[in-house]
Amino acid sequence: MANRHRGEIDAVLDGKPYRLCLTLGALANLEAAFGDEDMLALATRFEKGRISARDCQRIIGAGLRGAGFDVSDQAVAAMRAEGGAAGYVDIVARLLSATFAAKGGGSDGEGDAEEPGPFPGTR
């Protein structure tokens, strides 16, 4: 089972279960792929709520590689997700939410409320 506190999600691609995680290295690769200078620029890019098929391909590929799978973006392009295009967008939204969602604070009760994340639908 995926651990959202570690930024992991589970997804089914081509009928097989996978775990995805955007590690720091995966995020650095996405910055380079999208031509962004830093993670804030990357967050701002997706904050607008617009995502292309190529964006989905890159993000899902980065998440798979971050979780240890040796898969190219070209291989990801050939994979099928349940629900078609909406299924890919769901995977991306859950992965970005798990990666960038604000977490609550310590056990003293302060900061336990979740703040909105930098992406649509994230908390």
* Structure tokens, 61: 């590929």
**Can you give the pTM of this predicted structure?**
0.80
Which pLDDT belongs to residue 102? 57
* pLDDT tens-digit readout, 61-75: 999 999 999 999 999
Q: In 3D, which of 104, 103, 72 has the Cα closest to residue 7? A: 103
Q: In 3D, which of 9, 14, 8 has the Cα closest to residue 76? A: 14
Give residue limits of the domains in the chain: 4-100
Helices (H), the chain: 24-34, 39-47, 53-66, 73-78, 85-100
* pLDDT tens-digit readout, 43-56: 888 787 778 899 99
* Structure tokens, 109: 């009760």
Residue 18: what are its φ and ψ, rounded to 5°?
-135, 155
